Amino acid sequence: MQKEKDIDNNIFANKEVSYLCDEWLIYIKEEQLLSLNTYKAYAIDLKYFLKFLNEHYGNKISIKNLENLTLRDFRSWLSSQKIKNNNLSPKSQARSKAAIKAFFRFLNKKKYVKNTIIFTLQPAKINKQIPRPLSFKEVINIIKISGEKNDWTGLRDKTLFTLIYAAGLRISEALQLNIIDVKNMDILRVKGKGEKIREIPLIESAKIIIKQLLIINKNKEMNSPLFLGLKGKRLNSRQVQKTIEEIRNKLSLPKTVTPHALRHSFATHLLEKGVDLRTIQELLGHSSLSTTQGYTAVTMTTISKVHKLAHPRK
């Protein structure tokens, strides 16, 4: 197995645990298709976690050490972060916790380690930034420009951004799609967080452009990636981020415009059209309604304007 050269956990863990760390890092990079920034952050979070355990136990970490970790141990690790990393923001602390939870989720799923106690830790409370939704015109302009390349990658990118907006997909969900997932043109099957499958109805514009992309991929097998890179492998998120950055510059849009902004805009536009939160929650694949409720603040300005214009007693 190829080892991630930029991370060396052998200092803090024995060979067996180091191997599992490498395997997880490759998994989140190549299968979960996390962005490069998230991947690097998770890798650093894992390294500091192992460093803490190494100091905690006084020896290189073994499988047995991971299996014997208690809730108190995990809380001690969180406390040590606050003490040693005074400048670590609440958001970074929450991400660090999410990274180690993801690591243990992987270990338990693969049956390398039997320890689920970390999942009883309460999520950190952080002040979430309200996403800045794009206007419908901005979305259309992004999709239009993405398709202006002269080769097949133009149709690929246009299909990708159309699908993210039309179905409210996370970038990782879109890039994990295989041809078989869009075989039924009416319903899109998506594997979301926690590998939960959800089905999303497709609008006509999405059906049309997917059909065009499938013509290009007509000789591909059903389990082949829907979105391919130049080397014939699954398109990665880093290339997509680069593409959206180029589009941003052309349209003079702020840095907040990312592929995820298209997903935010999908939810916000539905909310403004009167779609209820429970339905939007299902479409987005949110496990908690409170996550979806974050979009309500975005539309308050619009709602206030409509209310003033429509209310009989102005």
Q: What is the pLDDT of residues 4-28, one digit of tens each?
A: 444 456 788 889 999 999 999 988 8
pLDDT above 70 coverage of the chain, percent: 82
Known active-site residue 193: yes
Give the CATH architecture of domain 136-307: Orthogonal Bundle (1.10)
Beta bridge partners of 189: 199
Which of 97, 263, 264, 269 is labelled catalytic? Answer: 263
- CA 205 to chain CA mean position, Å: 24
pLDDT at 312: 54
Task: Tokens for 34, please give them.
Answer: 């996390």
In the predicted model, what is the mean pLDDT of residues 290-305? 60
pLDDT at 286 over 80: no
Task: Tokens for 203, please give them.
Answer: 């609008």
pLDDT at 6: 44
Is there a contact between 28 and 35 (Cβ–Cβ < 8 Å)? no
In the predicted model, what is the mean pLDDT of residues 235-246? 90
pLDDT at 308 over 60: no
pLDDT above 90 coverage of the chain, percent: 30
Q: Of the candidates 195, 22, 177, 86, which has an alpha carbon nearest to the alpha carbon of residue 187?
A: 177
Which of 3, 189, 238, 260 is labelled catalytic? Answer: 260
Is there a contact between 63 and 75 (Cβ–Cβ < 8 Å)? no
Q: Yes or no: is domain 15-120 CATH 3.30.930.10?
A: no
**How far, in Å, are 1, 43, 52, 97 from residue 8 at the CA level?**
15, 10, 15, 20
pLDDT-derived band of residue 292, with 50, 70 and 90 as boundaries? low
Q: What is the pLDDT of residues 97-143, one digit of tens each?
A: 889 999 999 999 999 999 898 888 876 665 555 557 889 999 999 99
Known active-site residue 286: yes
In the predicted model, what is the mean pLDDT of residues 235-248? 90
Known active-site residue 260: yes
pLDDT at 300: 55
Is there a contact between 69 and 117 (Cβ–Cβ < 8 Å)? yes
Q: What is the pLDDT of residues 183-201, one digit of tens each?
A: 877 888 888 876 788 888 8
Which of 42, 48, 165, 295 is labelled catalytic? Answer: 295
Which of 193, 242, 250, 307 is labelled catalytic? Answer: 193
pLDDT at 1: 39
pLDDT at 236: 87
The upper half-sphere exposure of residue 73, i.e. CA atoms within 13 Å in the direction of its Cβ, equals: 19
Burial 249-285 (b: 16+ CB within 10 A, else e): eeeebeeebbbbbbbbbbbbbbbbeeeebeebbebbb
Domain boundaries, the chain: 15-120, 136-307
**How far, in Å, are 41, 155, 157, 178, 282 from residue 151 at the CA level?**
34, 8, 11, 21, 36
Cα angle 167, 211, 204 (rounded to 5 degrees) comes to 45
Task: Tokens for 52, please give them.
Answer: 């803490």
58 or 296, greater pLDDT: 58
pLDDT at 275: 84
Which of 158, 170, 234, 269 is labelled catalytic? Answer: 170
pLDDT at 2: 40
In the predicted model, what is the mean pLDDT of residues 280-298? 72
In the predicted model, what is the mean pLDDT of residues 272-290? 80
Beta bridge partners of 61: 13
- C-alpha 75/C-alpha 79 separation (Å) is 6
Task: Say which range, 91-100, 198-207, 251-260, has the weakest mean pLDDT.
Answer: 91-100
In the predicted model, what is the mean pLDDT of residues 75-103? 78
In the predicted model, what is the mean pLDDT of residues 149-158? 91
pLDDT at 77: 87
pLDDT at 301 over 70: no
